[in-house]
Structure 1
Amino acid sequence: MSDDQWTILRLLQWTTEFFQKRGSDSARLDAEVLLAHARSCSRIELYTAFEQEPSEEQRAAFRELVRRRGEGTPVAQLVGFKEFYSLRFRVNEHTLIPRPETEHLVIEALDCAKAMTDLDHPLRMVDVGTGTGAIAISFAVHQPAAEITAIDISQPALEIAQWNAETHSVADRIRFLHGDLMASLDPQETFDIICSNPPYVSESEFAELEPTVRQHEPKSALVSGPKGTEIIQRLLAESCSRLNPGGRLIIELSPMIADAVAELVGEFDELGELRFIKDLAGHKRIVSVARL
């Protein structure tokens, strides 16, 4: 191969090394996703085209994507989507990018739903702080009979969530509300499952986050306050009156505040049967508690 032959394989190899030097822990994946996006093809199609040379237009688009990724822009924002629970979700600068860890929350919610066999009404679930809608939409796809509400304090995030719901053909089964936690709900409204991936980063931890997160994702979706437990504490308090007896509150959290959250749960007589779900690294990532 001559020096001026930039085949797909060579582009991937060069870009992988470039991203590795900038500290990416998913350099090859990043390179593949961006090149596939520049070529308007799937990642798997790259593997059957290693010896092909992209057009100059595709190479120019790829160079710009690589430049921005090298400066710290998340891949998901560059391509406009993120895969989550085998579904594709649109993302932008107004939404938190869905993480694989949050899939454990969806699994717990679906397991709880399957166990609620004696309800005398359609199962009601609310996703508090829905962001892209990843939790609510994934739940809706797998629980077609459930009545689902998705709430977010960010109107731009809600618009992305609604777009995602329409894309996955569940928009007619999800009610979207704009508000702070559950303040926008009717006073007497209750649920069988409350899910949330709330802000749980402390202000000091935020300063230590990777620049790709700190500079590109909405701070309001990340930072809870000085302790990191402030929003979760409010959520626990509001859930006491919003959960039906036997219902479950399922919250994603940082392993660093797991013990503190367990103590907070203990302050509410209405809540019990606490269990933690660990992520693939063995860290406490999800807390699930029952309304007694």
Structure 2
Amino acid sequence: MAEMLTVLDVVQRSSVFLEGKGVESPRLNAEWLIASSLGIDRMKLYMQFDRPLNENELTDMRSKVARRAKREPLQYILGTAPFHELELKVDARALIPRPETEQLVELAIDSLGENDGAYRILDLGTGTGAIALALAFALPRAEVFALDASKEALELAQENAIGCGLQNRVTFVLSDWFTDLEEPGDFDMIVSNPPYLTDEEMGTAEPEVRDFEPLSALRADRDGLADLETIMEGAFARLKEGGVLWLETGIAHRESLESFGARIGYHDVIGTDDWSGRPRFVKAIR
């Protein structure tokens, strides 16, 4: 007779297996994967540790654990990721939203002046749509535009807009930065988490990033500055007087962007650290 495995058996065995493959937080990963296969919340797993598993359940669990062992990101396997107050669909068409980008959203919202909430906002390189959708959700009267050069990423962002009930709140634009953006300027705010990793950083990145997330959304030329400078230069003519540009950047980019922004003519360029104290964000005022 085949051995009858329980939920706890599979969690424990999967944890050991994932640890051997170099997966960070293997027990937590195993719990998320097993809970996903059972269609329950991870916290409810603890109440079902003695539950025996049938072969169909085991097959699905083994498949997901095997994918994670190959270092495919947990979020891609689960198919969703939380961001701000939203639950977003995620897959290999776009980057997985990071906690640092949630902080970017918070900083952007806090920096807006008084305008009865009727802001015009542009999210450049929207990917999953995370920034644009979070801003649209938080600012019900804002007019939000989300732009991406990847047709596949833009389709994912539109799927997320529908899933979050925000499809009538965000206008999606296929464009390589400002190239095909026909919408006129006078934005109150432009915000972007563009590619900014260097070749060296890509070489040392975890397999989850290096082997699975889209390279075009991660790496940039000129030591990671190419897209940041393109955005900073192009945004200047698109912002209202007093409008704000917010950028998520590499940790070595602040000084270069402060100098570049001053040369373009921004009134002020200010660096802001992330929650871990790293120089992660740049704010430029028109």
Same topology, TM > 0.5: yes
What is aligned with 1:134? 130
Structure 1 residue 202 and structure 2 residue 201: aligned? no
What is aligned with 2:144? 148
Residue 157 of structure 1 and its aligned partner are, at CA, apart by 0.5
What is aligned with 1:117? 114
User: What secondary structure, in the 3-state scheme, does the structure 1 residue paired with 2:184 have?
Assistant: coil
What is the CA–CA distance in structure 2 between the aligned matches of 1:188 and 1:169, rounded to whole Å? Answer: 26
Instruction: Give per-residue Cα distances to partners, 1:97-152, cap 9 Å, x unaligned.
Output: 11111111110111123xx2147x82010100000000110111111100000000
Residues 146, 171 of structure 2: 8 Å contact kept: yes
Distance 1:124 1:96, change over 3 A: same
Which structure 1 residue ranges, 4+ long, deviate > 4 Å from structure 2? none
Residues 246, 282 of structure 2: 8 Å contact kept: yes
TM-score (structure 2 length as normaliser): 0.94
What is aligned with 1:250? 246
Structure 1 residue 282 and structure 2 residue 277: aligned? yes
Structure 1 residue 24 and structure 2 residue 28: aligned? no
Name structure 2 gaps, 5 residues minimum.
none
Distance 1:273 1:219, change over 3 A: closer
Give the letter for the 1:268 counterpart.
Answer: I
What is the CA–CA distance in structure 1 between the aligned matches of 2:115 and 2:155, rounded to whole Å? Answer: 35
- What are the equivalent positions in structure 2 for 1:11-90 lying under 5 Å apart? 11-90=10-89
Residues 191, 246 of structure 2: 8 Å contact kept: yes
What is the CA–CA distance in structure 1 between the aligned matches of 2:284 and 2:41, rounded to whole Å? Answer: 40
TM-score (structure 1 length as normaliser): 0.92
Instruction: Give per-residue Cα distances to partners, 1:219-239, cap 9 Å, x unaligned.
Output: 000011141001000001001
What is the CA–CA distance in structure 1 between the aligned matches of 2:32 and 2:263, rounded to whole Å? Answer: 46
Name structure 1 gaps, 5 residues minimum.
none
What is aligned with 1:266? 262
**What is the aligned residue count?**
285
User: What secondary structure, in the 3-state scheme, does the structure 2 residue paired with 1:223 have?
Assistant: coil
Residues 254, 271 of structure 2: 8 Å contact kept: no
Residue 180 of structure 1 and its aligned partner are, at CA, apart by 0.7
